[in-house]
Amino acid sequence: MAERAKQLAGIRGVVLDISGVLYDGGGDGGGVPIPGSREAVEKIKASGLKLRFCTNETQATRGKLVEKLQRLGFNISVNEVTAPAPAACRILKERNLRPHLLVHDDLVPEFDQLDKANPNCVVIGDAADNFSYKNLNEAFRVLIGLENPILISLGRGRYYKETDGLKLDVGVYMKALEYACDVQAEVVGKPAKMFFQSALAEMEVEPQQAIMIGDDIVNDVGGAQQCGMRALQVRTGKYRACDEQHPEVKADGYVNNLAEAVDIIVKQLHK
């Protein structure tokens, strides 16, 4: 571990994944904090390191996510969270796009600031029960009617697990619209480079000054490294022992949990 710590010199900003790093379990009511993670967040804040929470959650607004984390005892506010919907909003504004939304009802307020009349693109997120035939077909009709069809997808996951079992994720429905309209979606969310870059911009640090801590070897660790950041994998959440022998992605370090990661990073600051 000593050698590993040496590789962590020059860190100025920390990007934390949320699910599987701060807390375990999910779904509507659920979730328990991972031991030591609340204190670890405080420790980062007290150290003077910049901090962003980075999630690909696309079912609820950041407000709802933050409320849940606060209920679990975390000191976190909405403006500390990087999420796909606000990142997509920035892109839409830059490109003068007016979206037709196929997203969960709870996510709609994230797009309040945008003009949605006479849409010239479709934005799809994890709409869960709102993925009805009617809603999908409406999005399809908008997309196929465009001269230059633009489909923006908040994530591309296949499925995920909630307390009551596995659930189809947004990627499955994204593929359906791609197939129907013969287009390729632009994906916003981990592991897309653009997504990590927005977290870095918000912290005002360079990629080589930042470190990602996540439980997903491909989306968190691989995504951040692609962007020039360093990355640690925690052995909590969706971590599996075989991740440490992953054929393509090697983390800059493997730690038991967030508390251990933060100890190593903060110790390095005082060297």
Ligand X SMILES: *[C@@H]1O[C@H](CO)[C@@H](O)[C@H](O)[C@H]1NC(C)=O
Q: How far is the CB of 84 from ligand X (least distance, A)?
A: 7
Range in contact with ligand X (rule: CB under 6 A) among 122-130, 145-153, 226-234, 258-266: 122-130
Kindly state whether residue 129 participates in binding ligand X, applying the rule CB under 6 A. Answer: yes
Site for Mg ion in 168-227 (CB under 5 A): 215
Chain-centroid distance of CA 229 in Å reads 15
Q: Which residue has the tokens 């897309």?
A: 192
Residue among 99, 189, 222, 253 that touches ligand X (CB under 6 A): 189
**Among ligand X, Mg ion, none, residue 47 binds (CB under 5-8 Å by kind):** none
Q: How far is the CB of 147 from ligand X (least distance, A)?
A: 26
Q: How far is the CB of 260 from ligand X (least distance, A)?
A: 19
Kindly state whether residue 20 participates in binding Mg ion, applying the rule CB under 5 A. Answer: yes
Find, among 81, 74, 2, 64, the residue nearest to 32 by Cα: 74
DSSP string, 176-217: HHHHHHT--PEEESTT-HHHHHHHHHHHT--GGGEEEEES-I
Kindly state whether residue 202 participates in binding ligand X, applying the rule CB under 6 A. Answer: no
**Among ligand X, Mg ion, none, residue 198 binds (CB under 5-8 Å by kind):** none
* Structure-token pair, residue 152: 């923006």
Q: Which is nearer to Mg ion, 209 or 233 (CB)?
A: 233
Whether the ω angle into residue 84 lies within 30 degrees of 0, i.e. cis, is no
CB–CB of 34/232 below 8 Å? no
Residue among 5, 120, 160, 228 that touches ligand X (CB under 6 A): 160
Q: Which residue is nearest to ligand X (CB)?
A: 155
Kindly state whether residue 13 participates in binding Mg ion, applying the rule CB under 5 A. Answer: no
DSSP string, 30-76: --EEPTTHHHHHHHHHHHT-EEEEE----SS-HHHHHHHHHHTT---
d(CA 135, CA 140) in angstroms, rounded, equals: 9
Containing 19, the helix (H) or strand (E) segment is none
**Among Mg ion, ligand X, none, residue 105 binds (CB under 5-8 Å by kind):** ligand X
Q: Which is nearer to ligand X, 112 or 129 (CB)?
A: 129
CB–CB of 114/92 below 8 Å? yes
Find, among 137, 98, 132, 97, the residue nearest to 117 by Cα: 98
**Among Mg ion, ligand X, none, residue 58 binds (CB under 5-8 Å by kind):** ligand X
Which residues of this protein are in contact with Mg ion, per CB under 5 A?
17, 19-20, 215
The residues binding ligand X (CB under 6 A) are 42, 45, 56, 58, 75, 105, 126, 129-130, 135, 155, 157, 160, 169-170, 189-190, 216, 219-220
